[in-house]
Chains A and B, each alone.
Chain A
Amino acid sequence: MSASLIQANPKIILEVNNLRMHFPIVKGFLRRTIGHVKAVDNVNLFVQKGETLGLVGESGCGKTTTGRCIIRAYTPTSGEILYRTPDDKIVDLAKLKSEGDLRPYRRDIRMIFQDPYSSLNPRMTLLQIVGDPIMANHVASGKELEDRVAMLLKRVGLRPEYMRRYPHAFSGGERQRIGIARALALNPRVVIADESVSALDVSVRAQILNLLQDLQQEFGLTYLFVAHDLSVVEYICDRVAVMYVGKLVELADTETLYMRPLHPYTEALLSAVPKPDPRLRNRGNRIIPEGEVADPAKPPSGCYFHPRCRFAKERCSIEEPALRDLGNNHFVACHFAGELTLRGVLDKKVVA
């Protein structure tokens, strides 16, 4: 992806270029750095206005870290996070150092957290939790603040009368609604939903997914949806990016990715998803990668996936594949992309 994508295309609201987030490993009395955990290693992606981009991968692949870099909870090691402001200026969030410089953008990009139990302060009432970002940004106070919070609570399906209650009085699904109300409090433009439905029961999960979709339509929100549940991602996302050990391995629109994956890792992920129909059971027919996810502190040489890949050739262990466009905005990082016959989600034919 060229660096000027966001300049060329006014529909793009956020572009991430060569993002790297390396955490140092320190050891000993002198706290010497003996290595780095490459949590995010060269990620490139862009998000269009009003769309939902899914970010999937196994745990430890750097999806959450990518999200946290974008809201600038972390300062990335290198790379660009280009954001288009409402007045059409392009800002590199990665370059902004001081909290003061970042402040205006903190309102625009908000996050919904994974665990509705630990992400709400148990000593604050709903009014304080949801009202906090409004107060901190001097948007409203007093009666006006209460009105705004009441409106937000009503919008996410909670009764405004509950405003004076504490989070412990609510169930998991309701707490997740509180988290959503807090994220929406400042009329954001981009919302990063970090595994926001993973901790919920199936029936409640469906309610929250529908709510997220309604809110997207109503407020024209753009979502970056970080998740590991591929069936949920397929349901809600327009495009999906697959990550493996800090790198982006494939990015395409949802239908293409699920039907015609081009990276062997995507194929393996898709085949591992249990299908809710006993008649589609294909025991022993699944492609499950051998072994475990590589350690991001000691990644293998070449393509990070090659020790587990069933198509791995010599080249894969030497040369690192670059993310390239195979047409129709289908990006893959594999030397043999397009040459391999891979199974999509519905194709049950066994490929030799």
Chain B
Amino acid sequence: MTNKNLLLEVKGLKTYFYLDEGTVRAVDGVDFSIERGKTLCVVGESGCGKSVTARSIMQIVDPPGRIIEGEMLFHRINQDSGSSEQEEIIDLAKINPRAEAIRKIRGKEIAMIFQEPMTSLSPVHTIGHQISQAITLHTTATKAEAREQTIDVLRLVGIPRPETRVDTYPFQLSGGMRQRAMIAMALSCKPSLLIADEPTTALDVTTQAQIIDLMIKLQQERGMAIQFITHDMGVVAEIADDVVVMYLGLIVERGPVDTIFHNPKHPYTQALLRSIPQIGPRVRQRLEVIKGMVPDPYNRPKGCPFHPRCLKRISGVCDQILPPKVELEPGHDVRCVLYDGSASHPVEGSASHPVEGSASHPVEGKGGSQ
């Protein structure tokens, strides 16, 4: 890996939850990478493992969940140790979730914004107290300096009158202001990666637009990478550079935002895009729906997890094998047998398969990464 811009590489990440009812494979072999200063959107319906992926990176998976396999390589630039910048690669998956090492990264290098600002802020501490605590913990600032920095960061996220707002409690702020305070806390230590877990889902459209504009502005100023988790395709179109589509703990498609919206390959991505009402000139046709619903995580379908709902399924293939990841072009890969030219499934002869669009595309098929 010679890419200097690489910030985080996740390889074969598996996070399972061991419950009395059985094992939930919340994240089941996920690979992606985030570059510095770029935005990666993770989309999918509820229960597809978006949030667990993010929590795995932060090492805050709640028990009985555990990361059981995979690597999460975080490329940290150390500036403190002398004159030249040197890159250090840390495997987050190897660190004990309670160790000192992860605490130095969590909140400082990688910060997270949660979905519900009311439940993720402490109701009995002022927002100033909560933000300056993060600053004093990760830097050498004194209390007074931390307070100054807190006021600065509150001003940065567009909270009016930050000098007085610093002493307010979360319940005194509106939803949009609380989410701004949450962003301020995440930004207080200048992280290189910001993980935003559905930060705008609980907000009104106008507030959502304000928060998204704020995040884009801050990203341009600070050059941080954002991993944005959402189920709203509209938000994805606004903010993403790259998109990862997840279904039942697997990445079914990954690619640049324009490709995902205008040339989606996986039947799930295609169906997802067709099921959202388009705003604009009135074409009041019925919405196409995806039949059925996301299966119960205890009984995952065999083979491709999407096959029971898929319109293009090939019986005998899709319900038997987990499709390998196929790279269609650099940066765009899909996990579907329709595009698998490498004939790694039981039915031999790739030409016999209805390959759509890129039939003659030279697919190098990375082979089953599982």
Contact = CB atoms under 8 A, between A and B. Distances in A.
A345 B279 contact: yes
Interface in B292-313: 293-294
A231 B234 contact: yes
Given A171-B293, A202-B45, A234-B279, A274 B238 contact: yes
B142 interface: no
B295 to A, nearest CB: 10
Contact of B289 (A206, A272, A293): A206
Interface string A171-186: 1111000000000000
A201 B46 contact: yes
A276 B279 CA distance: 8
A274 B287 contact: no
B257 A278 contact: yes
Nearest to B258: A278
Main secondary structure of the interface of A (DSSP, over half): helix
B284 interface: yes
Contacts of B231: 201-202
Interface in A230-257: 230-232, 234-235, 254-255
B278 to A, nearest CB: 7
A174 to B, nearest CB: 8
B213 A283 contact: yes
Nearest to A203: B290
A203 B289 contact: yes
B288 interface: yes
Interface string B216-248: 100000000000000111111110100000000
B209 interface: yes
B288 A278 contact: no
Interface residues of B, number: 49
Contacts of A279: 258, 261-262
Interface stretch (B3-11, B25-33, B112-120, B269-277): B269-277
A210 B291 CA distance: 12
B206 A272 contact: yes
Nearest to A255: B282
9 contacts: A58-B204, A171-B293, A201-B231, A202-B272, A203-B271, A204-B45, A255-B282, A278-B237, A345-B280
Interface of A: 58-59, 171-174, 201-207, 209-210, 213, 228-232, 234-235, 254-255, 258, 268-269, 271-281, 283-284, 286, 288-289, 291-293, 345-346
Closest 9 pairs (CB-CB, A-B): A274-B234, A235-B277, A272-B209, A203-B290, A206-B275, A206-B287, A201-B45, A58-B204, A272-B205
Given A210-B289, A274-B209, A274-B237, 19 more contacts: A171-B294, A201-B46, A206-B275, A206-B277, A206-B290, A231-B276, A231-B278, A234-B279, A273-B234, A274-B232, A274-B234, A275-B237, A276-B261, A276-B276, A278-B257, A284-B213, A292-B176, A292-B177, A345-B280
